[in-house]
Amino acid sequence: MLSIVHNTIAFVKETLADAEGGHNWYHIDRVWKMALHILKKEGKGDRLTI
**Average pLDDT per 10 consecutive residues for the chain, totaling 50 residues:** 88 90 87 89 77
**11 in a domain, yes or no?**
yes
Residue 7, domain member (yes or no): yes
Cα-to-chain-centroid distance, residue 19? 16
Asked if residue 27 is part of any domain, the answer here is: yes
| pLDDT score at 9 | 92
Find the length of the chain: 50
Nearest-angstrom CA–CA distance, 18 and 3: 24
Supply the pLDDT for residue 47.
Answer: 67
Residue 50 has a pLDDT of 65
pLDDT of residue 11: 94
For position 34, what pLDDT does the model report?
A: 92
Range of the domain at 20: 2-42
Residue 15 has what pLDDT?
92
Q: Count up the domains in the chain and report the number.
A: 1
**How far apart are the C-alpha atoms of 18 and 21, rounded to whole Å?**
9
Query: 13 in a domain, yes or no?
Result: yes
Residue 33 belongs to some domain of the structure: yes
Q: How high is the pLDDT of residue 6?
A: 94
Domain membership of residue 49 (yes or no) is: no
